[in-house]
Amino acid sequence: MPMRPRRQRELERTRRAAAAARSQGRAALAVAFAQIDAAFGQAAAINAFKLRVEDWLRLGPQHPAVRARFGARAALLGGPDLDIAIVAVERWWRAERKAFQIASAFGRGSRLSIEVLAELRLILRLMRRKRMHAAFASIVAALCDEPIRMAAE
């Protein structure tokens, strides 16, 4: 069976939840609640996150939006080693979560940096799983715009 796009699988999952509720003979309101729960529940939130990351990957490292979102963090990664980058991003993500919790206690928390780091964590893990260790350095260079900087010097 060929792999279907994540968006299609997500839509089918919500339809299956509604069909399962209907087959159990539930009332229309219960069927609607089952479909809403499937569309906005925990699994839907995780799939939405993965869809966002897929969109960033589809754009590629040369896209201005990708550079704006991940360029500063990529510049901090520095070296060409993917495993060290994964450890560094994991450390940054944990520190940022703690800082967000403290800031939220005072009513001033912003989730943007946590979201960026979570997306970067998933991207780096995906790169490790696909064994893209060799391509990591060139992707970081493309994000940081290093070839253009070197030409300008």
Angstrom distances, CA of residue 33 to CA of 27, 37, 40, 73: 10, 6, 10, 41
DSSP 111: -
Nearest-angstrom CA–CA distance, 38 and 16: 9
- Describe the chain by its helix, strand, coil percentages, rounded to 5: 80, 0, 20
Whole-number pLDDT of residue 146 = 58
**How does pLDDT run across 62-108, given as a tens digit for each residue?**
899 999 999 889 888 877 789 999 999 999 999 999 999 999 999 88
Angle ∠(96,68,106) on CA atoms, nearest 5: 30
Structure tokens at 38: 């499937």
Question: What are the Cα distances from residue 64, in Å, to 11, 70, 78, 124, 142?
Answer: 30, 10, 20, 19, 11
So where are the chain's domains?
Answer: 1-40, 49-152
**What pTM does this model have?**
0.75
pLDDT at 109: 82
pLDDT reported for residue 148: 45
HSE value, Cβ hemisphere, 13 Å, CA-based, for 17: 20
